[in-house]
Structure 1
Amino acid sequence: MNARRGGRYFLAGLAVILLLEAHSSFAQFRGRGVEMQVVSPIQIVSEPSRMHTISFRVTNRTNRQERFREEAVLPKGWNLVIPMTSFVLPPQASTARLLSFQIPINAREGTEKIVYSVQSDRDPSIRDRAEYDVVVLPVAKTDFLVENPPSSLMAGEEFEFAARLVNSGNIPRMFQIKARNTDTNSPVLAAPSEVFLGPGEGAAVSVTGKIDQKFQGTVAVIQITATIEKDGRTEDAASTAVLVEVVPAVFRKPEPYHILPSTLTVSATRTADGSTKPSFEWEGSGTLDEEGEKELSFSFKGPDVDDSYFFTRTDEYWMNYSSRSLGILMGDQPYGISPLTVYSSYGRGFGVDFKSMAGGKLSAGLFYVRDRMGEEEWMDRGLYVQRSLGDDSFIRLNVAQSETKATDKKPESEDKLWSLEARLRTGKNSDLELEYGRTSTDRPSAKDDNDAYRILWRGMTEGKISYSLGKTHAGADYWGYFHSYDYENASVSIPLGARLRLGIAASGYENNLDLRSGESNVATSENLVQATLDYDLQNGWFLMLGFDDFERLDRLAPANFDYAEKSYWVRLGRNFGQLNWSVEPRFSDQYNRLTGESESVWNMNFLVSYFPSPNLSLSLFWNLGDNDVLSESYLLRGSSSFGGSIFWRMSPQLTLTLAYSRSGISDNAELLTNQFDLIATYEMKEDRFLTLEVSKDDFETEYRLSYQVPIGIKTVKKTNVGILRGRVIDSMDPAKPGLPDVVVRVGSEAVVTDRDGNFIFPSLAPGFYRIMIDPKSIGYGFTTVQKYPISLEIAGGPKPVSMEIGITKGAIFRGRIALPEQGGSDAGEGAAGLRELAVSGAKPGSIAHILVELSRDDQTVRRSTDMNGEFVFDNIRPGSWNLKFYEAGLPAGYRFETESKSIELAPGDVVEIVNRVLPKKRTIQFIDSGTVTTSSSGRKK
């Protein structure tokens, strides 16, 4: 305990020191042509279901106006609240961009990475990107435990799984249990619908349902909720969600060859000037072998569409190959070897990676790339040698060379770079990145400031303290990915209790370190200190308090800016499952020290997301406040920015995506920019798509129509495959004739039996499969002789696996649990408690919520009695079953007349049973043993 507390104090102290001593730095040179920096704290620590917003500053370092297209790469299942779009920046101008996202409820614990990037439409080499860490905290779920959820289902398939509700509190409660599917066309039911649990008691919950035959999504979310009545209101007591992968109900002919998927897209763009520009793109990605070890990806697109306002595109051709031992890159794409030397150099080139040498301990690679736009001729090349240290740790030597041809404004230059890089695992949940580099250049320099270094240490302690410390420095004569750049940051998030967390962060930037007026007319220095208190109010509510201290000044005389801002903000929100919202009022004191201007301003930011089903999702953002915000502010934006997006699958074939954004209002209350985007996609037969895109702002409206065709490229014939052949028969006929036109499914493949009932799957990967029979193809009331679905292991090799599937008429077994007649011979002790179990409005003498079980060697099915004390098992396989009634829920002193028995069900049978509840017979036995004595207080005998 003392060691943990000491570590906590050490990290907090270290963060405070960095907060006090942090120097500012927004880089003069980072990448080529555009520079992007994160204004928000360098990491977010959050529970699932929260919505968060990251602020980036994007600066156009070129001498011409550029339209930039932004892109965000989120972890799988995460959702954007503010849609990504495009924006225009004048030369040397900056703007603040927002990335708002929601962490899903089922996000895994640990650190996830978000990548935000911008790229010029005209010249893809003008690009930059930033990576951002989001630490997802674990959330304990003790009330609902899901026992056997299905991992995948076929569209149209029925399902059943069990959950267990546990009252982990210290008071008895009556729970109402409901289940819902995000797809409203896929019904789901939880039984029992209500249950009474004492402290520490638990109850089994059965969840049954069916996936809609026309379901077109990839994932269905089944949410189970237990509610309680408190003070006349209904409150959520416990909730859990089950994600099930859904395989669409499509028939696919078995393929003996391994297929590399690809698509060919042909487009026509109608530009603002009325001209029509055609283009095409053929892209693919997949594996070349059955083991999935050899990967190939490619993209061929063109020609240029260079006079379009929104849909500008550059011809691009590239192909990549990767295996365990070798990687090959060719064509138009980013190349690089390390963050300090060459990191993301876009051009036309090639690269080779030798991934496994000296028994996997060594790897090496090289690349060559040159400018393909022709505006500034340059060439980069480099190589690396890496030594693995195990446990995802390595040490690496990087060597690179950059050459730039002379232009009218700049002389020819040659830069030689090298760096020593390492990544070390410093703990179970922490790692350390180190890199040191130097440059040898023929550029003129005032002093020999030609080295660079990079340090990043981040992780989380066992006490759930999340931390990140980093610094990147590149000297004024260092000409790698960073140049004349200094950046440092510190961030720590400390739990102060079960529901309270303190966050402290600081960052600093400097550019133009040597104050060279010939390189830039400014020398920017920036400091940002931030602190937050995050309080979990339970039941989905949360509250955050924040403070930001920001300053920005120009160190190069005469100064162009000297600005400071202090902000206080509150964020309140709630996560309802499908509906989530947050509101953030911010109050700020702003100072322009050059002009003497000062403002006390405010704004309010709203974020809302609603995901009622996989077929519909909506998001909305709205920022309003004062119009008097000083132009230097990056933390508080001008008023009345708002927008949102809608995703709507109107039918299995038609999908619409709409996005609208308004950037804000200027000082004279004029609207700055509006942008509207529409994407309509229509799915035709054989996975072909027709897509219409419309983009409009205050100046232009453009259209693009695209037609997409899937192309499967056969690579190698499958060898490590299994063959399944079989026959579907009528088992009720002694002649066992085959049944034609029966749909048999294995995984995502489906076949139809021939006129003799035969079927074959000629190319199945080895493994365990579930063999499914489409119930519509065999008729209602029929089932399989084997346990359904049928589980089978398929082994690779030429010898086929043979099976016979018998179809028979299903049986029905139903019954009722009856109470004893009131006042009769069965009445006695506990009768009042027994009568309490009878539900109001039910049949006289009935008892609800009793568990009934049928079992045999290979299968167990359970049902709960309804309000009338009735239960039914339909479409049961004929044969011998063991029947059992569970006494859980009966009052003390009572029993079932029949607790268990064996029953025989023949095809088509309808068997009924009435089971009475009787008092237990008690025997009192007197034991003639021992003696009885009496004593009086204060007397001895």
Structure 2
Amino acid sequence: MKKGIFLFTFFLFIINSVVSGQHIPVEINILKEGLKVKPTQVVNLPVLVKNNGDDEQDIEVILNLPDGWKGILQKQTVRLAKGGKKLLLFSFQVPAMAPQTAFAVKVQLSNISDPQARVISETTIDVQEREDVSVMLVSSGKYVMAGENLHATFRIQNNGNVGKKLYLEATNCEIEGSKELEVAPGESKEFTAVLSTNPELGATHKSYLSVKAVSGATVYGSAFHSFVVYPKKDYRRDPFFRFPVTASSAYLFTNQDDEPMSGYQFEIAGAGALEPTGKHQLEFLARGPNNNKFNNMGLYDQYYITYQNPNLRLTLGDRTYQFTPLTESSRFGTGVEARMQFGNGFRVGALYVKPRFYESIDYEYAGVVGYKFNKHSSIDFYYISKQMSLLPDVIQMASLNTKINPFPNTYLDLEYSRGYLDGESDDAYRANLNSRFSIFRIAGNYYYAGENYPGYFNNSKFYSANVSARITKKIDFGVYAKEDFQNAQLDTFFTTAPYSRSFQTSLNFKVARNISWRFYWRDYERKDRLDKNKFHYKTRSLNTQFNHRYKFLSYDLNGEYGKTTSLQAEETNNRQKTYRFSSNILFRISSAHSVELFGSLSNVNSFITDDQRTFTFGGSARSRITRNLQAGLYLQNYYDIDQYYQNRNLMRFNFEYRFLKKHKIAANSYYTLFRAETENPTLTLSVGYTYQMGIPLKRTEQVGQLKGHITDNHGNPVEGMVLSMLSETALTDENGQFYFASLPVGRHLLFIDKSKLEINEVTNIPMPLEIDIVGEKETAINFEIAPGARFSGKFLTDESEFPGTIVIELKGEFDNMRISTKSDGSFSFPVLRPGNYLFKVYEATLPNNYSLSKTEYELKLENEQEFDLKIHLEKKKRNIIFKSQGFILTPEVKTVSKNKEQSKTETVKKIPEAKFYSVQIGAFKQKKDKTSAFFKRRVFDFERQTDNLHKYFIGVFANKQDALKLKRELEKIYKNPFVVSIDGDDIQPEH
């Protein structure tokens, strides 16, 4: 049965195809196949139709689109002659939310006379991915009280056609709930960011927070929000200029060499300006007793003081004194130094120091003279003398230093020195270069000191050079070379790093926003400087470094592979393959908490030691438990021997608590390999207290206080109103009270944020309000915020159209407003404060032939009152008779002077009551008399006061033509005179 149905259907299909082919011998071809389009794109699809039959064909071509697609041109009718063909163009738009997939699009052709006969052609449209993700702020407060949390709600909207898995990155805030969101096409999701504020805040502070939606290296959207934090506590402006001083004490304990020791150390230090302009600076330190035996926990005793201004610097006490890099790079000890800079560029200086940590030198002193050409160019000559402990003769050295800026972004620092000792002399020189041009950056140093040169270096050379080029925005190439010095007169309190020599080439890739990859070839040598030589080796290796930050995770991976030659081992067994792998992983749990893990695995066996470790690992954790309390922990199992020049902590714990703004308690513990040691770590503990204070030096200003109370018209307190005066801002509390604790003395304006008022609310006194602040006294001000009154009205006439505009005025105790009516005679004033007002109509602005029996009205307005006033204009009745004379009045003319200036004593005989014409020559706010310079060449005939202006006119005419003639004459004397018509108090310009 099923087989029969199938055969029957198959034969029907064949027959229908044959019949259709006979009825429509037309060929149809879609010329563009497999189009790739994006959502919202308009697509033009060309279709070629051809008549292969013997008869003319009337055909209809229809484009069939997927559901929801918008067809612009979807249906066309065409007549094809025998053998004829035609190109048709169909247009449609892909929907914005069309998914990323392939859609079938069909073009159907049918015969108009036989709609059942059809030919169909089909193609596919590949819809590509469209990314459109936005982040916007939905709601958040514009302010928050100190100690409270600000909540900001954001919305992520996916307007693309592909779902997105996004990660939220926050700055200066925390995201509530999960930081990972999945947003489908057309979907939006909301999330909340929270920012905690400092309850101890003493002044108004503007802060911000921002969020980003990212996926991998792509930032899809971001939003920013700023707000104001208002203090809960009264903040008082400090009227004194203060010098900052810090006092501290510490208790120290160590078990070095299994011998427990404890002690105390005290310190007081200060650094800052001595006056408000900052021109004079002072720095001092007093620390004792000497607890250097506690290594990095305790410090050596030190006492010094330094004063400086733009022209002078004086130092006395225990400090590191600077000479020149070749003669004496730096020397710590007890000494004195003075340097002077004159306004013409000339400078001199002298210093003396008795070294503390380099026992081979008894003392040394130096003098310097120089000249400073500009910011980057100078020249100095030094003379230095030093007395060695084991030498009878004094060492003499001279040095010439210069700094130049030969080209833009290129700086050179050069020095030449010659030293004398026991009748022998030798030279030393150095050069430092820093330059940037085009895509290149060059930096380099070179030092050379002769065998008998008695300076800081001797029989040494040191160089370092770095050349880098930014090939593209994401690719950098660089070459680096360095060789360390061999001999230097270092302070023995410090331990210098091992001798090293290296050459390196690198290629850096910025793969994406948070991904970088570096490759470099390295050839380096390291040698122990300690008496018991533990290592001396050379390594050639290929290195790679990969850094990536992904969501809350940051990590870097480092790899090295090459060969190492030990220069202390036998030549037959001194080379081996070298590899090293290290990693560092940082987890940012939140902005206040983070955990870091690190480790290193290597087979570099280049040290002479019985216990060579190849696996190093450790971790650290940091946490800000509260705003004022934070703690940290660090652990590591081992350190490489060639890092002996620094303290190496195997364990460190620190705890810090701040209270009362200026006080701090800190506790620290260390399990440390100290400098120059390779075994036997030492446990050290310390507990310290620090107090920060300011010593008042000068009273800078008198201050006063302002307090107030805001209520509504029913006496209820108004909370949350923002007021500002100068740079200070205050917020009313739940009792409606506000307080400015420290304001400069004087008369200042108090502003209220009107955005906090309702649209119909006003204050019962005008704002801003001018207030006098009195020194060391409290000023009080109270006012109300309440719904205001509305006052509107209309002037009425018997005419269908209102004949003009009228100027009206409203005067109250605090307000004075003047407006004009609208074209229909209506008027409306802004929201008004309750009280008594005088409403005045300016009679001179009434329309022609209208008058009022009453032009002033007394009003009393109350809260929430809507007052509407209707005023009926009365029609004037006047009979005017014109006479045939051209002039109604004749001015009295005086004798004209030689320069044809008109006398300033001419007077007007008569002003007519009927309408007449005149020429206006000026209008002023202040009244002018005929002796004014403005009327020097011709005096006015009469004056009228309208619209708060004094207007001046020449001529009185019965017709406009005569006035125009006078206007042309007056244009030679006055600027822009014009003709006016005057009818009583009505003055209108004539065009």
Scaled by the length of structure 1, what TM-score is found? 0.54
Structure 2 counterpart of 1:706, which letter? G
Structure 1 counterpart of 2:291, which letter? V
SS of the equivalent of 1:255 reads: coil
Structure 1 counterpart of 2:459, which letter? S
The number of aligned residues is 618
Q: CA deviation at 1:588?
A: 2.1
Change (3 A) 1:588 1:160: same
Of 615, 618, 636, the residue aligned with 1:640 is 615
Q: CA deviation at 1:706?
A: 1.4
Paired position in structure 2 for 1:712:
694
> Counterparts of 1:656 and 1:392 in 2: how far apart (Å)?
44
> Counterparts of 2:428 and 2:376 in 1: how far apart (Å)?
24
Matched, 1:253 2:236: yes
Q: CA deviation at 1:154?
A: 8.3
Of 553, 563, 575, the residue aligned with 2:549 is 575
Structure 2 counterpart of 1:623, which letter? S
8 Å CA contact 1:329–1:351 kept in 2: the answer is yes
8 Å CA contact 1:541–1:574 kept in 2: the answer is yes
Structure 2 counterpart of 1:503, which letter? G
Paired position in structure 1 for 2:329:
343
Paired position in structure 1 for 2:247:
264
Structure 1 counterpart of 2:436, which letter? M
SS of the equivalent of 1:511 reads: coil
8 Å CA contact 1:188–1:210 kept in 2: the answer is no
> Counterparts of 2:245 and 2:771 in 1: how far apart (Å)?
29
Cα deviation code 1:3-36 (max 9, x no counterpart): xxxxxxxxxxxxxxxxxxxxxxxxxxxxxxxxxx
> Counterparts of 1:796 and 1:470 in 2: how far apart (Å)?
61
Matched, 1:288 2:288: no
Q: CA deviation at 1:605?
A: 1.6
Paired position in structure 2 for 1:492:
467
Matched, 1:436 2:416: yes
Of 319, 323, 328, the residue aligned with 2:309 is 323
Of 374, 392, 396, the residue aligned with 2:376 is 392
8 Å CA contact 1:582–1:606 kept in 2: the answer is yes
Change (3 A) 1:506 1:438: same
Cα deviation code 1:68-97 (max 9, x no counterpart): xxxxxxxxxxxxxxxxxxxxxxxxxxxxxx
Q: CA deviation at 1:257?
A: 1.2
8 Å CA contact 1:247–1:748 kept in 2: the answer is no
Paired position in structure 2 for 1:457:
433
Paired position in structure 1 for 2:340:
354
> Counterparts of 1:800 and 1:575 in 2: how far apart (Å)?
57
8 Å CA contact 1:378–1:403 kept in 2: the answer is yes
Structure 1 counterpart of 2:581, which letter? M
Paired position in structure 2 for 1:936:
none
Matched, 1:371 2:355: yes
Superposed, 1:129-140 pairs within 5 Å as none
Paired position in structure 1 for 2:76:
none
Matched, 1:625 2:599: no
SS of the equivalent of 1:567 reads: strand
Per chain length, whose mean CA-contact separation is higher, i.e. which structure has more relative contact order (CA < 8 Å, sep 6+)? 1
Change (3 A) 1:504 1:376: closer
Q: CA deviation at 1:325?
A: 2.2
Q: CA deviation at 1:686?
A: 4.7
Of 529, 535, 543, the residue aligned with 2:509 is 535
8 Å CA contact 2:351–2:366 kept in 1: the answer is yes
Paired position in structure 2 for 1:132:
none
Q: CA deviation at 1:302?
A: 0.7
Q: CA deviation at 1:311?
A: 2.7
**Which segment drifts farther, 649-658 or 730-739?**
730-739
> Counterparts of 2:442 and 2:711 in 1: how far apart (Å)?
66
Change (3 A) 1:222 1:581: farther
Paired position in structure 1 for 2:657:
682
Superposed, 1:276-315 pairs within 5 Å as 276-308=262-294, 311-315=297-301
Paired position in structure 2 for 1:414:
394
Paired position in structure 2 for 1:588:
562
8 Å CA contact 1:742–1:753 kept in 2: the answer is no
> Counterparts of 2:329 and 2:760 in 1: how far apart (Å)?
61
Structure 2 unaligned residues grouped into runs of 5+? 1-133, 489-497, 673-679, 789-830, 834-861, 865-991
Paired position in structure 2 for 1:470:
445
> Counterparts of 1:632 and 1:328 in 2: how far apart (Å)?
50
Cα deviation code 1:135-190 (max 9, x no counterpart): xxxxxxxx9999xx9999985589999999999xxx99999998654555698999
Cα deviation code 1:242-268 (max 9, x no counterpart): 999999876543222111122211222
Cα deviation code 1:84-125 (max 9, x no counterpart): xxxxxxxxxxxxxxxxxxxxxxxxxxxxxxxxxxxxxxxxxx
> Counterparts of 1:438 and 1:474 in 2: how far apart (Å)?
10
Matched, 1:663 2:638: yes
Paired position in structure 2 for 1:702:
684
Percent identity of paired positions between Structure 1 and Structure 2? 18
Change (3 A) 1:579 1:481: farther
Scaled by the length of structure 2, what TM-score is found? 0.52
8 Å CA contact 2:558–2:581 kept in 1: the answer is yes
> Counterparts of 1:534 and 1:234 in 2: how far apart (Å)?
18
Q: CA deviation at 1:195?
A: 13
RMSD value, Cα: 6.0
Paired position in structure 2 for 1:565:
539
Q: CA deviation at 1:566?
A: 0.5
Cα deviation code 1:444-490 (max 9, x no counterpart): 86xx4x211111111322x3322113211122222223222211222
8 Å CA contact 2:704–2:774 kept in 1: the answer is no
Q: CA deviation at 1:393?
A: 2.3
Structure 2 counterpart of 1:565, which letter? T
> Counterparts of 1:783 and 1:659 in 2: how far apart (Å)?
62
Q: CA deviation at 1:370?
A: 0.9
Change (3 A) 1:377 1:492: closer
> Counterparts of 2:338 and 2:661 in 1: how far apart (Å)?
37
> Counterparts of 2:254 and 2:725 in 1: how far apart (Å)?
48
**Which segment drifts farther, 316-325 or 573-582?**
573-582
Superposed, 1:233-244 pairs within 5 Å as 236-237=219-220
SS of the equivalent of 2:294 reads: coil
Paired position in structure 2 for 1:96:
none
> Counterparts of 2:768 and 2:432 in 1: how far apart (Å)?
50
> Counterparts of 1:783 and 1:652 in 2: how far apart (Å)?
43
> Counterparts of 1:508 and 1:481 in 2: how far apart (Å)?
17
